[in-house]
Chain A
Amino acid sequence: EVQLQQSGAELVRPGTSVKLSCKVSGDTITAYYMHFVKQRPGQGLEWIGRIDPEDDSTKYAEKFKNKATLTADTSSNTAYLKLSSLTSEDTATYFCTTGATSDYWGQGVMVTVSS
């Protein structure tokens, strides 16, 4: 059974960065594109971008190009989302997912940006 395990909740200061992890078990990460999705409290889903762990190629939504960086480590079967220059607008739950072709989701990680 494929599972995506995300790192724990984060409380971070404005202006700093945070790196979230998403570990794949039950299969090799290179079998999937890894997508990340943002959901602010009480709001809808926003697609941040995706990475192909096979060659590290990435695609980002325009609004996240200077905010998010996606990386992957095939040796640990883990994808990462780094968020930089954090503001209150980045307070949200972040999900990793393998997309509609296979529909595996992480449990989500809550990031709270507060001083």
Chain B
Amino acid sequence: DIVLTQSPALAVSLGQRATISCRASESVRSSMHWYQQKSGQQPKLLIYGASNLASGVPARFSGSGSGTDFTFTIDPVEADDIATYYCQQSRNDPYTFGAGTKLELK
């Protein structure tokens, strides 16, 4: 199985940039997606195919990378962005998720 490694938490100030990384144990090409999950809610797709903004998602969210190293950025961070963010690969079965990065306010 492809293992996706994310840092567990990130503390950021409102209005600043937040950058979350996801490293895959083998290449997933561009088959990487980013989800936001708020407490008690279902996940919401923000970025698909490594760098494509999902429908209705504000442009302050972005993604980049290919192969094994991926980055998700929020710039600037707003209060509503406090959530846990997951990467997921769909290159190979099983479609694994990273463990999630909890975005916290400084």
Contacts and interface: CB of A to CB of B under 8 A. Distances in A.
Contacts of A107: 42
A37 B96 CA distance: 10
**Most A CB atoms within 10 A — which of B1, B33, B88, B94?**
B94
Interface stretch (A44-52, A70-78, A83-91): A44-52
Q: How large is the interface on A (under 10, 10 to 19, 20 to 34, 35 or more residues)?
A: 20 to 34
Contacts of A47: 88, 94-97
Contacts of A49: 94
Contacts, number: 56
A59 interface: yes
B80 interface: no
B90 interface: yes
Contact of B97 (A45, A50, A106): A45
Contact of A108 (B42, B45, B49, B90): B42
A45 B86 contact: yes
Interface stretch (A11-19, A24-32, A97-105): A97-105
Interface residues of B, number: 23
Contacts of A101: 48
A45 B94 contact: no
B1 A61 contact: yes
B43 A45 contact: yes
B42 A95 contact: yes
Interface in A47-67: 47, 49-50, 59-62
A35 B49 CA distance: 18
Contacts of B33: 100
A105 B95 contact: no
Given A44-B98, A103-B45, A105-B42, 11 more contacts: A44-B97, A47-B88, A47-B94, A47-B95, A47-B97, A59-B94, A95-B43, A97-B43, A99-B90, A103-B44, A107-B42
B83 interface: no
